[in-house]
């Protein structure tokens, strides 16, 4: 498949639809949450990189670095706030119907915030003025997905962090491997 055909197919495959499909595969939700909780991985960015990879692309590191701060700001100021409110009401929602309903509303709002973030990642990648600069064709090989994904998300995104997290601990490595195994079957024909 030529680069223009790949790009056309990427444009026809919404990131949100890809994310729902991948996230629903066995073990992916748990792996994403583990990486989010234990290693501070931004799941929306992880899903974005998986979407690109499944179409044979990767985001240009220098372009991603410029945009990542804006997306992380959204995650911290909107999505995380909604998530904390949602989680904070769990115990009280078990005994109060009104709090349960409020918690469900917050859960939906959190999901909408994540969908908006993914939509913005997609718009950024497919910006008609610079997709060739932002996206590069990448080699896709079965069994390579976990390593590739970890490099895109961890090595590029977290090299400037002051804290030293062990991103290769056995539980985190298992999460990366699960994501890779479930990403491999999602590759489109090239």
Q: Does residue 158 carry a pLDDT above 80?
A: no
Q: Does residue 190 carry a pLDDT above 50?
A: no
Average pLDDT, the chain: 86
Do residues 149 and 46 touch, judged by C-beta distance below 8 A? yes
Do residues 126 and 10 touch, judged by C-beta distance below 8 A? yes
Domain extent for 155: 3-186
Residues 20-46, mean pLDDT to the nearest whole number: 94
Question: What is the total count of domains within the chain?
Answer: 1
Question: Which segments of the chain are extended strands (E)?
Answer: 57-59, 135-137
Q: CA triplet 112, 104, 91: central angle to 5 degrees?
A: 130
Structure letter (DSSP) for residue 154:
I
pLDDT in tens, 59-116: 988 888 888 999 999 999 999 999 999 999 999 999 999 999 999 999 999 999 999 9
Q: Does residue 164 carry a pLDDT above 60?
A: no
pLDDT at residue 112, as a whole number: 97
């Amino acid at each position: 498949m030529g680069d223009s055909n790949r790009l056309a197919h990427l444009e026809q495959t919404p990131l949100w639809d890809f994310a729902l499909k991948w996230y629903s595969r066995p073990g992916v939700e748990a792996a994403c949450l583990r990486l989010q909780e234990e290693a501070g991985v931004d799941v929306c960015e992880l899903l974005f990189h998986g979407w690109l990879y499944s179409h044979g692309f990767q985001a240009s590191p220098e372009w991603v670095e410029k945009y990542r701060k804006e997306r992380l700001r959204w995650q911290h100021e909107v999505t995380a706030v909604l998530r904390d409110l949602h989680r904070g009401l769990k115990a009280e929602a078990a005994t109060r119907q009104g709090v349960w309903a409020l918690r469900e509303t917050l859960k939906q709002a959190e999901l909408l915030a994540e969908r908006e973030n993914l939509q913005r990642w997609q718009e950024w990648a497919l910006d008609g003025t610079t997709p060739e600069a932002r996206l590069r064709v990448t080699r896709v090989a079965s069994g390579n997905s976990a390593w590739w994904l970890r490099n895109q998300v961890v090595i590029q995104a977290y090299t400037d962090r002051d804290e030293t997290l062990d991103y290769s601990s056995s539980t985190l490595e298992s999460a990366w491997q699960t994501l890779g195994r479930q990403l491999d079957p999602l590759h489109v024909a090239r």
